[in-house]
């Protein structure tokens, strides 16, 4: 396609929106808590309902795009995203805001897999595709890191709802540009849509993530155990159905490939720690260090700049080193940078934090680009939507679980050290003990670092190429479809 690189810029707008909306609330949370009178539990739901709904629906929507066409799904879901952004911006209560954020998640779940699937169709040459996925991933990672910056700049002059209205002009460009530049991509013989599989996938994902989130925050009570069991049972039935139905939503046999399954797991672990760090660090900088919303957002800018730059460079790096080496190095570097923040105290100077954020952003940009290239290269183009849905489900699940689990760690440390009865560290008692909040954030950074280092080791083991491939660090466009170079 002649205009494929221009088309890539349009697709990148879609993931930019998803990334920004995942973290833009980080600097707005204190203002929302005050204006809407949100409780600590509601604040957590406002923060992670978006990612939970995304995680629950990505596989379903990726498969839907394979059937009805990814261009059609992309343009329709972008329009829905604009409408949901309006509802979110003008939400009059915490409950309404949670519901509107859930609708944003539904629209985002329709938007996300189509962008990566269309890249798979636009770039048949594997070398070009690696660079294209690197650009796509860098924009996604940069959007996640830019959320607090954009939010902080707007909150200097406007009310908290303004952080969602910025979606609308971007979507106008996306819809107009996408209509003109993007080709249609669908499975020519998709077969009927497995509605039972859709239901099982949704119930399984939502039940499981709800149980993990609520269990981490409140302990495993009876209803949480029931939700977990329902989720596990539904996912078990989903897998069995996908193995037997003639028209599965996803080919679950892909998970028997240790490279594929290892990279999907890596996507989850890669963002679990950093997502929570970026979410709570913005609040820490405002409530402990006294930064304004804009200053807090700008303080996280090194992560955004590094993610964008190194995400693009990842596509170049795999031409000279194996995907295994590039991915493992990125994860290890990110883990070490996270580990440096275990020494965080209210007296820690910003340069120490800024350097750590730069390395974390660089590692995330590289890791996300390489991991997604491995995933979509492992399936034929007509099934790219489902594969993209799997990959992005892992990413969003990691984001949601990071905020829920590590947020609970921060809250637990804060309660223990500050003797505060509230369940959340930035609620009414935050000014009572800044050291307690810093200690909680440091503990969460330590857990995130350990997970990243463990995933680096897992990648090094799982992506080890067979003996006959070890002299082929890069697989060009003549490789057999479905191969995953080491």
Where b means 16+ CB within 10 Å and e means fewer, 94-115 reads: beebbebbbbbbbbbbbbbbbb
Output the domain CATH number for residue 455: 1.20.1250.20
CB–CB of 250/194 below 8 Å?
no
Transcribe 199-249 into DSSP letters.
Answer: HHHHHHHHHHHHHHHHHHHH---HHHHHHHHHHHHHHHHHHHHHHH-SS-S
The verdict on residue 240 lying in a domain is no
pLDDT in tens, the chain (486 residues): 567 888 888 888 888 887 787 677 767 777 888 888 877 777 777 877 877 787 778 777 777 777 788 888 888 888 998 999 999 889 888 889 999 988 888 888 877 778 877 887 787 776 777 778 778 777 877 777 677 777 777 887 888 888 888 888 888 988 898 888 887 776 666 667 778 888 888 888 888 777 776 676 566 678 888 988 998 999 899 888 888 887 777 777 777 777 777 778 877 877 788 877 877 887 788 778 888 777 877 888 888 888 888 877 887 787 778 878 888 898 999 999 989 988 888 888 889 889 999 999 888 888 878 887 777 776 666 666 666 777 777 777 777 677 777 777 777 777 777 665 554 444 433 444 677 888 888 888 888 889 889 888 888 887 777 665 544 443 444 443 334 343
C-alpha 410/C-alpha 98 separation (Å) is 22
Instruction: Work out the angle at residue 238's Cα, subtended by the Cα atoms of residues 236 and 243, and round it to the nearest 5 degrees.
Output: 100
The verdict on residue 85 lying in a domain is yes
CB–CB of 455/270 below 8 Å?
yes
DSSP code, position 403? I
The verdict on residue 208 lying in a domain is no
The verdict on residue 275 lying in a domain is yes
The verdict on residue 225 lying in a domain is no
Tokens of 42: 């509601």
Residue with tokens 């930064």: 291
The verdict on residue 52 lying in a domain is yes
Residue with tokens 């200097």: 156
DSSP code, position 471? T
C-alpha 268/C-alpha 262 separation (Å) is 10
CB–CB of 378/260 below 8 Å?
yes
The verdict on residue 437 lying in a domain is yes
CB–CB of 108/400 below 8 Å?
no
CB–CB of 484/257 below 8 Å?
yes
Compute CA distances 197 → 187, 212, 269, 459, whole Å.
18, 22, 26, 30
DSSP code, position 464? P
Task: Judge residue 243's burial from the number of C-beta atoms within 10 Å of its C-beta, 0-12 exposed, 13-18 middle, 19 or more buried.
Answer: exposed
Tokens of 392: 């992005």
What residue spans of 318-433 are helical by DSSP H?
Answer: 323-340, 350-377, 384-401, 407-418
Q: How many distinct structural domains can be found in the chain?
A: 1
Domain that holds residue 153: 4-193+249-469
C-alpha 202/C-alpha 204 separation (Å) is 5
The verdict on residue 24 lying in a domain is yes
Nearest alpha-carbon partner for 485 in 367, 343, 324: 324
pTM: 0.71
Tokens of 7: 């088309």
């Amino acid at each position: 396609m002649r205009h494929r690189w221009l088309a890539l810029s349009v697709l990148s707008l879609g993931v930019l929106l998803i990334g920004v909306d995942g973290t833009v609330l980080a600097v707005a949370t204190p203002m929302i808590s005050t204006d809407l009178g949100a409780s600590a539990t509601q604040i957590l739901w406002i923060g992670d309902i978006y990612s939970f709904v995304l995680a629950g629906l990505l596989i379903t929507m990726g498969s839907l795009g394979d059937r009805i066409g990814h261009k059609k799904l992309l343009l329709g879901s972008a329009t829905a995203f604009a409408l949901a952004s309006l509802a979110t911006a003008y939400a009059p209560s915490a409950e309404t805001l949670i519901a509107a954020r859930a609708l944003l998640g539904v629209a985002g779940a329709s938007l996300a897999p189509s962008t990566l699937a269309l890249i798979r169709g636009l770039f048949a040459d594997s070398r070009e595709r690696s660079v294209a996925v690197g650009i796509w991933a860098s924009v996604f990672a940069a959007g996640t890191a830019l959320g607090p910056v954009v939010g902080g700049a707007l909150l200097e002059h406007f009310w908290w709802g303004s952080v969602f209205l910025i979606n609308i002009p971007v979507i106008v460009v996306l819809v107009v540009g996408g209509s003109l530049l993007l080709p249609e991509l669908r499975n020519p013989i998709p077969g009927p849509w497995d509605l039972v599989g859709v239901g099982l996938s949704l119930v399984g994902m939502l039940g499981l993530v709800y149980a993990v989130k609520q269990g981490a925050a409140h302990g495993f009570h009876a209803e949480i155990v029931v939700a977990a069991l329902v989720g596990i049972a539904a996912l078990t039935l989903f897998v069995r159905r996908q193995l037997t139905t003639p028209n599965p939503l996803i080919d679950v046999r892909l998970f028997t490939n240790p490279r594929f399954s290892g990279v999907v797991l890596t996507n989850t672990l890669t963002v679990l720690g950093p997502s929570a760090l970026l979410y709570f660090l913005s609040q820490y900088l405002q409530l402990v260090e006294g930064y304004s919303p804009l200053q807090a957002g700008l303080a996280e800018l090194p992560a955004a700049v590094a993610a964008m730059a190194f995400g693009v460079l990842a596509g170049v790096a795999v031409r000279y080193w194996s995907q295994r080496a590039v991915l493992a190095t990125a994860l290890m570097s990110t883990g070490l940078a996270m580990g440096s923040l275990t020494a965080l105290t209210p007296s820690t100077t910003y340069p120490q934090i800024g350097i750590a954020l730069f390395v974390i952003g660089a590692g995330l940009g590289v890791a996300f680009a390489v991991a997604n290239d491995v995933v979509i290269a492992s399936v034929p183009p007509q099934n790219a939507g489902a594969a993209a849905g799997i990959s992005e489900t892992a990413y969003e699940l990691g984001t949601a679980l990071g905020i829920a689990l590590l947020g609970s760690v921060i809250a637990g440390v804060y309660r223990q050290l500050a003797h505060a009865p509230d369940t959340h560290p930035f609620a009414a008692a935050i000014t009572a003990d800044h050291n307690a909040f810093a200690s909680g954030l440091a503990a969460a950074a330590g857990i995130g670092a350990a997970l990243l280092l463990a995933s680096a080791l897992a990648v090094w083991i799982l992506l080890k190429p067979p003996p006959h491939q070890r002299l082929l660090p890069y697989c060009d466009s003549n490789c057999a479809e479905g191969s995953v170079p080491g």
